[in-house]
Structure 1
């Protein structure tokens, strides 16, 4: 079965792996890519996305530039400390130049057009801040039924990576994340960093990808700054390809084990801003305390909590070395 997919992204090294994963998979109909601010500014994320598609020889895929800032408040900083000044360890210029121009209408316009034209529901994979998706859901409620599910890389159950409480994508625009995750309008799957960290790959995995051919070698060439960051974060030589884990769930539904739980997003300006509050209590206890929390059954999100780690890594490597 072929999955119709739109990726919303802020490339980013792990975004690069996720885009390639979708672009190289024969059972994915990659309808389009939209870009958003995040790891670096939106002009740079747009250029990176176009060049990554060119690397995968997918010039047929339209790219539209989206939000340059969050819905409400200014974005405090980018993630250059992990991804480098250009989002790709300073090596984006080594990728081929894109030939297809950027779509003129912008991200929300392209998202709307692709949904309108599709003859079946489409999966959207936001792997950056959720600004574009919140805008889409707000301005085009008539298209909600065209969305099969929204598979989001973001959030954290225990602790964050940008702050003690918040994961980067959600922290970058908490108001947008609140709109998407608590609106209850479309089915959402949340792939939090607790799980993606457990799916980290080692140097042996990266060496196998490098040896697979030009695309694999080009992807691993983008990783030096990212590897240096994750050497600190993990305490060993490896890296976390967060976004590719979420796209794996898009391609092979059920490769991640999920639980349906209420989720809220902290939007106040305290130390927990951007935290995803995931209610993991037993449903019976939640029912007894109904009214003590703002989360309700309508905000239930399928949250990824586990996977067969070896099988997932093997799946990612197999798909990234297909061509």
Structure 2
């Protein structure tokens, strides 16, 4: 059984990731925390509650977190991808949850869940890393309770919101740098380079829609998102970034990782939010004086069909 805390900014692909956790019998979902990102905090929180309601998860505590980055204002939301409501303008397809948000904030909820956990917990941040940076700064004692942090973010060779930066990291580069560079917890980074390769096609979505009411609802949510990727990538299908990271969190080793020192560009300009992975040999790094930097496991490959089948088999259940 994998104990999970999800930190999220739903977001269509976030909805698929939350659904994947809810649909997996080997997951103990301890809590869900929300952050600004694809849309504003009030909407990401409402969306998280509604996705949990789709799966009857009234038991999972939900707490709202940061509504802005650590340092600079957030330049813009991703409504052009996820719709005005964050769920393809179809959030009303989901039921309202009877249980509202917890009477605490995201960081306090995560700290409490970690402190009381009998076994180490995996944290899955699939939005900007603001809440995670605040948690590790304000509650350093909980590091020992964290099994690993599995992050969807960054692009080693590509970007999406800019030529070089991926949306989650770009939304709060200072927070991302604290988590990826300055902290010392086992971390897996699942970047765009791999999530794009795990794109699901129209046939996959049709199979999910035919699996039952929940699968059909998820496919209806993704309609506008699917159209966006059809226009931009020329495919009939969709990229489900956050669900790929969730799959690795649930089934460690599903993705192939390589370990590199990484950094995050925080300076203003066209490179802001870029994740820089130092893929040189240890000898080359040592000669340039950077050997010994903290290393992060970066997902670089996978059996792509196995990833798609893992997602479909869980979400169809």
Q: Please indicate the TM-score interval, normalised by the length of the shorter structure.
A: over 0.9
CA distance in 2, matches of 1:20, 1:234: 25
- Displacement of 1:184 in angstroms is 3.4
- Displacement of 1:232 in angstroms is 2.5
- Displacement of 1:158 in angstroms is 0.8
CA distance in 1, matches of 2:3, 2:136: 18
Match of 2:221, SS?
A: coil
Match of 1:270, SS?
A: coil
CA distance in 1, matches of 2:287, 2:174: 29
Match of 2:98, SS?
A: coil
Match of 1:29, SS?
A: strand
For residue 114 of structure 1, what is the aligned residue in structure 2? 113
Question: TM-score, normalized by length of structure 2?
Answer: 0.99
Match of 1:221, SS?
A: helix
Question: TM-score, normalized by length of structure 1?
Answer: 0.97
Q: After TM superposition, list the pairs within 5 Å mapping 1:3-22 onto structure 2.
A: 3-22=2-21
Match of 1:6, SS?
A: strand
RMSD value over aligned CA atoms? 0.8
Residue among 259, 284, 304 paired with 1:309: 304
For residue 42 of structure 1, what is the aligned residue in structure 2? 41
CA distance in 1, matches of 2:101, 2:268: 36
CA distance in 1, matches of 2:61, 2:183: 29
Match of 2:270, SS?
A: coil
- Displacement of 1:209 in angstroms is 0.3
CA distance in 1, matches of 2:183, 2:257: 17
Match of 2:10, SS?
A: coil
Q: After TM superposition, list the pairs within 5 Å mapping 1:1-323 onto structure 2.
A: 2-291=1-290, 297-322=292-317
CA distance in 1, matches of 2:205, 2:283: 45
Aligned residue pairs total: 317
* Contact 1:9-1:126 within 8 A present in 2 as well: yes
CA distance in 2, matches of 1:76, 1:224: 26
* Contact 1:184-1:300 within 8 A present in 2 as well: no
Match of 1:32, SS?
A: strand
Q: Which runs of 5+ in 1 are unaligned?
A: none
Match of 1:180, SS?
A: helix
CA distance in 2, matches of 1:299, 1:173: 20
CA distance in 1, matches of 2:6, 2:258: 23
* Contact 1:261-1:303 within 8 A present in 2 as well: yes
CA distance in 1, matches of 2:284, 2:295: 15
CA distance in 1, matches of 2:241, 2:310: 15
* Contact 1:131-1:173 within 8 A present in 2 as well: yes
Single out whichever of 33-42 and 280-289 deviates more from structure 2.
280-289
- Displacement of 1:282 in angstroms is 1.5
CA distance in 2, matches of 1:302, 1:317: 25
- Displacement of 1:252 in angstroms is 0.6
Runs of 4+ displaced beyond 6 Å: none
Summarize deviations over 1:221-270 as a string: whole Å, max 9, x none: 10121011111232111110000000000111000000010000000001
CA distance in 2, matches of 1:184, 1:134: 9
- Displacement of 1:286 in angstroms is 1.2
